[in-house]
Structures are given as C-alpha cells and as structure tokens.
Amino acid sequence: MISRRALIMLAACCLSSEAQADDGSALAQRIFQVIDALDVEDNWPAGVHVDWQTGVPDGRYVAPGHKDTHCSAFVAAAAEHLGVYILRPPEHGQVLLANAQADWLAGEGAAQGWTALPDMYAAQAAANAGQLVVASYKNPDDDRPGHIAIVRPSQKSQDQITSDGPDITQAGLKNFFHTTVRAGFADHRNAFAGNGILYYAHAVDPAALPA
C-alpha cells in the first residue's frame, strides 16, 4: 500500500504549471512540498511526547490526564526545514510554546525577519506569493495553551476568507493537512470570532529549498 507521505510527494512532483498558477506562486508550491512531506496528519500526535523536529513519539513521560498537543513544535519544525527561525527548543521547551511564540513574534521576531501582517487577507496573499506565514493566537490565560498554524496558498475569494479565514496546515487536538482558520482554531472560543489571531510572514530563500 502506498503511504500518505508517498502520495503527497507524488502529487507535489506532478503539479503542472497550470496548477501552480491556480494555487499560488511556484515558490509557494515548493514551500508546501517541503511542509507537506513532513506528514503532519501521521506525526505530532496529541497526547504523547514527541521529538519536536520529526513529530515522532519519543516515549518520554506525559502526566496522566494531560492532552499534550504539538502545534508549535510542528510550526517550528516546518520553519527549520525552510531555513527560517521561529522560537523553538532548546530556547524554549514544548510546554506552552505557542504562547511564547506569540510573544516572540510580537517582539524579537522582527529582528529575525518576521513581519506583522495587517489582517487575514494580507496573510492569504503573502502565503500565495511564497512567504512562510503563520497564524498565531496567544491564550489570555498564560497557563493555558495558545495555538499556531501555517497558512497555505489558496485562491479563496475575499468572502470565503471573511467567512472561514485563510486555509491552514496544523497540528493540534486533531492534525490537519488542510483546513481553515475557523475550524483549526475552534477549540479557542474567541480566537477567530474575536479577532484574536495575529498573522506574521517571513521570506523564504529559494536556495534553502530542495531542487
């Protein structure tokens, strides 16, 4: 049986120039060939401790009743594969990393090449143009987890973005290869409806990507 990862890679390799025009720039397509090859739906599973770079469970202890999720570790791993730095282990542990990334993006991130975007429409446009774009939500309760996801290229209309937000890839209580901001952030009640999600973009050097 062909694995999901193999199917993803086969689909990525078979993208035509017409498909690239429909779904974003050629650079955006190359970026998501790298991200999709990480196979988020089969790695970074909730409820177990994982190696942050691979998403593979590493057997380390997780306290009973804890439902550890790995949105921030997945984003950090994807960024590393693209030659981009975002706050990650060992500079910060995996616990409450999404909240720490939100603070870092709003502060030190600018010095590391991250740019704050004005809204979700700009976020979708930046992802389509071939930038690494994240959607970041800091939980108002510092002791509870926030959330972070990667914005995918998409030719959604402005009305579709208004309704459901940009398209994203994420790890979380459920991992999604492809979903929307509204669905992906649904466990945080006021994140989408309350405009609590902030968007940041970082240029990706094509030379850092596989040929």
Tell me: the pLDDT tens digits for 85-140?
A: 999 999 999 989 999 999 999 999 999 999 999 999 999 999 999 999 999 999 99
Q: How far is CA 177 from CA 19, 164, 211, in A?
A: 18, 16, 23
Cis geometry, peptide bond prior to residue 90 (ω within 30 degrees of 0): yes
Tell me how many degrees the CA angle 123-84-121 measures, rounded to the nearest 5: 0
pLDDT of res. 67:
67
For residue 64, what pLDDT band results from cuts at 50, 70 and 90?
Answer: low
What is the sign of the dihedral through the CA atoms of 188, 193, 197 and 202?
positive
d(CA 107, CA 9): 36
Identify residue 45 by its one-letter amino acid code.
Answer: P
Cβ atoms of 166 and 125 within 8 Å: the answer is: no
d(CA 211, CA 209): 6
- Domains present along the chain, CATH in parentheses: 4-15+24-208 (3.90.1720.10)
pLDDT of res. 63:
67
Q: What is the pLDDT of residues 6-48, one digit of tens each?
A: 444 434 443 333 334 334 589 999 999 999 999 999 999 998 9
Q: How far is CA 172 from CA 11, 98, 131, in A?
A: 25, 11, 23
Angle between helices 26-36 and 4-13 (to 10 degrees): 170
Residues facing 151 on adjacent strands: 168
d(CA 134, CA 171): 13
